[in-house]
Amino acid sequence: LATVGSNLRPSTRVVLIKDCDARGVVWFTHYDSRKGVELAGNPFAALQFHWVELERTVRIEGRVEKVSDAESDAYFHSRPLASRISAIASPQSQVVPDRATLEAQVARVASQYSEQQPPRPDFWGGYRLIPDDWQFWQGRRSRLHDRLHYRLQGDGVWLRERLAP
């Protein structure tokens, strides 16, 4: 996932895609993480998938919005308990003094919810990238790769173009 911060510098990271359908591509995270802060300031991003063995890449760009609370709740409660505790305990992307501090915070949160299921915190949930630009790349030994580009036009019709490699 690539986002752009207020300093106009791009930032990339790996995210775990949890859903992909006609509405877009979904992942879940801490809203106060670097990506969450960057998306709050500039709600556009790019995703890239690369399959080395197949010599294929898919690149998707578009607007990003938060998924509904119901979708975030459903996914949060489907996760293993340890993952839910970690999501609550970790101030994702923030500087911490050491691993022991994180482990102590996890232990505190686990103790707090030893008798009940932890609720999804307000700072954690899903995002959906709504595509308006797709690129499909197929590598070739000749280096004359295939690149197909699809752009969503203002009238809602996808324009298909071939790009030079």
The angle subtended at Cα 85 by Cα 16 and Cα 44, nearest 5°, is 35
The angle subtended at Cα 104 by Cα 102 and Cα 107, nearest 5°, is 110
Selecting among 141, 143, 160, 162, the annotated active-site residue is: 143
Give residues with Cβ within 8 angstroms of 163, minimum separation 6: 135, 147, 148, 149
CA dihedral 68, 21, 28, 127 (to 10 degrees): -60
Residue 143 annotated as catalytic: yes
CB-based contact 61:131 (threshold 8 Å): yes
**Would you name the residues annotated as active-site residues?**
143
